[in-house]
Amino acid sequence: MPLFDVYPLYSVTPVSGKDIFVYDDKEIEYLDLYGGHAVISIGHAHPNYVKAITNQVEKLGFYSNAIQNPLQLELANKLEALSGCKGYELFLCNSGAEANENALKLASFKTGKSRVVAFKNGFHGRTSAAVAATDNPNIIAPINAQQAVTILPLNDVEAVKKELEKGDVCAVIVEFIQGVGGLDQATAKFFEQVDQLCKVNNTFFIADEVQSGYGRSGKFFAFQYYNVAPDIISIAKGMGNGFPIGGVLIHPSIEAKHGMLGTTFGGNHLACAAGLAVLNTIEEDKLLENVHTISEYFISKAKTIPQIKNIKGRGLMIGLEFDFEVGELRKKLIYENHIFTGGASNKKLIRILPPLTIKKQHVDQFFEALKKAL
């Protein structure tokens, strides 16, 4: 049976990985500055991670959400401690889109309203409400277009105020650092005013931390650079280091009701073991400190390359903007220099999303290769 051909593919076949590197079927080593789309947080095949998953699957890989699963609570407590999101409650699911879908659904249940405000160039996933809140008409099918969504420009606080005061908006959803859109960030003033506007208009403020969360920005969550208190925080990518797991952190003012949300696979034993190994490693290996050190080093090196016109993002979620489209440059980096990088909907931008374990020598390796490729 052929595969449904929805992905344009590079002709590389990785078969193994170790920390910041992946190895293909010809044993060629690739420096992974893409992290499989910001997913690899603690490095490929981290020994803690391999051990935790192996031990768990030997005992019990899965059972449904109809029984007691203490691993879920252990994960929730560790997440509360490391993220500093005191008092928030956790609902576990399997992916970023699903996290946002549940966040939007919860906002609608609780406010009794149904319109969503989202932002230009935002990306929130490919399921029903999540894709409708995504600013890309090419991936919105007619069935999704039925959702009531208003897309506004970032930094236009008056436009947000006008929409929220109409009284029918259940949620404002935002990426504090845009991922797919190209690493743009609104101003602190905008984020803080939108947070306040949500609070006075009975609208939930949803922080989509699917890509920017789990330390990638240098803080546990990117919203923590601002004076805001989201009602719901959605998480996924870095949470499982490749094991499919997602979740929503829910403010304690939002009361749960049996049956309100649910999933078969979400929060299963194996996913929790993977998620716990990630959190323990972020703590033990002091990865947030590493993100700051390497980010600073990376940006100082990027500033010395004249062809780089603009440096965007934070932490290890960095955009390098050129004054030409970077498709060919990224191909050269992969095929000639064996370095994976990410693209964005801004065609002039290379996205750098490495494992959070990256060291200075890997940054040096990248810049040597980039100079050659330019």
Ligand X SMILES: Cc1ncc(COP(=O)(O)O)c(C=O)c1O
CB of 202 to ligand X, least distance (A): 24
95 contacts ligand X (rule: CB under 6 A): yes
Q: How many residues interact with ligand X (rule CB under 6 A)?
A: 14
Q: Stretches 96-104, 251-259, 264-272, 321-329: which one binds ligand X (CB under 6 A)? A: 96-104
Q: Which of 17, 35, 125, 182 binds ligand X (CB under 6 A)?
A: 125
Q: Which of 56, 185, 211, 268 binds ligand X (CB under 6 A)?
A: 211
For residues 287-306, one letter each, b for 16 or more C-beta atoms within 10 angstroms of the residue's C-beta and e for the rest, the string is bbebbeebbeebeebbeeee
CB of 3 to ligand X, least distance (A): 18
Q: Which is nearer to ligand X, 71 or 245 (CB)?
A: 245
Answer whether 354's CB lies under 8 Å from 35's CB: yes
Q: Which is nearer to ligand X, 52 or 236 (CB)?
A: 236
36 contacts ligand X (rule: CB under 6 A): no
97 contacts ligand X (rule: CB under 6 A): yes
CB of 100 to ligand X, least distance (A): 6
Answer whether 116's CB lies under 8 Å from 163's CB: no
Q: Which is nearer to ligand X, 113 or 237 (CB)?
A: 237
For residues 93-127, one letter each, b for 16 or more C-beta atoms within 10 angstroms of the residue's C-beta and e for the rest, the string is bbbbbbbbbbbbbbbbebbebbbbbbbebbbbbbb
Q: Which of residues 232-251 bind ligand X (CB under 6 A)?
A: 236
CB of 124 to ligand X, least distance (A): 5
326 contacts ligand X (rule: CB under 6 A): no
Answer whether 103's CB lies under 8 Å from 111's CB: no
Q: Which of 20, 210, 308, 317 binds ligand X (CB under 6 A)?
A: 210
Q: Stretches 189-197, 203-211, 218-226, 255-263: which one binds ligand X (CB under 6 A)? A: 203-211
* Separation between Cα atoms, residue 44 and residue 150, nearest integer Å: 39
CB of 37 to ligand X, least distance (A): 6
- Greatest pairwise CA separation for the chain in angstroms: 60
State residue 93 phi and psi, 5-degree precision: -140, -150
Distances in Å between the alpha carbon of 196 and those of 82, 193, 206, 208, 209? 26, 5, 13, 17, 19
346 contacts ligand X (rule: CB under 6 A): no
- Tokens representing residue 147 in the block: 């959702």
Answer whether 90's CB lies under 8 Å from 75's CB: yes
* Separation between Cα atoms, residue 93 and residue 244, nearest integer Å: 9
CB of 276 to ligand X, least distance (A): 20
Q: Which of residues 130-189 bind ligand X (CB under 6 A)?
A: 175, 179-180
Helix (H, G, I), strand (E, B) or coil at 218: coil
CB of 214 to ligand X, least distance (A): 12
Going by C-alpha positions, the residue among 279, 277, 294 that lies closest to residue 354 is: 294
314 contacts ligand X (rule: CB under 6 A): no
CB-nearest residue to ligand X: 96
Q: Stretches 71-79, 144-152, 206-214, 261-269: which one binds ligand X (CB under 6 A)? A: 206-214
Answer whether 224's CB lies under 8 Å from 212's CB: no
* Separation between Cα atoms, residue 313 and residue 353, nearest integer Å: 11
What secondary structure letter does DSSP report for 159?
H
List all residues 6 or more positions away from 81 whose beta carbon is below 8 Å from its beta carbon: none
Q: Stretches 1-9, 208-216, 325-333, 339-347: which one binds ligand X (CB under 6 A)? A: 208-216
**For residue 157, what is the enclosing H or E element?**
helix 157-164
355 contacts ligand X (rule: CB under 6 A): no
CB of 359 to ligand X, least distance (A): 25
Q: Which is nearer to ligand X, 121 or 211 (CB)?
A: 211
Going by C-alpha positions, the residue among 222, 283, 286 that lies closest to residue 81 is: 283
Q: Which is nearer to ligand X, 186 or 363 (CB)?
A: 186
What secondary structure letter does DSSP report for 4?
P
**Contacting residues toward ligand X, per CB under 6 A:** 95-97, 100, 123-125, 175, 179-180, 208, 210-211, 236
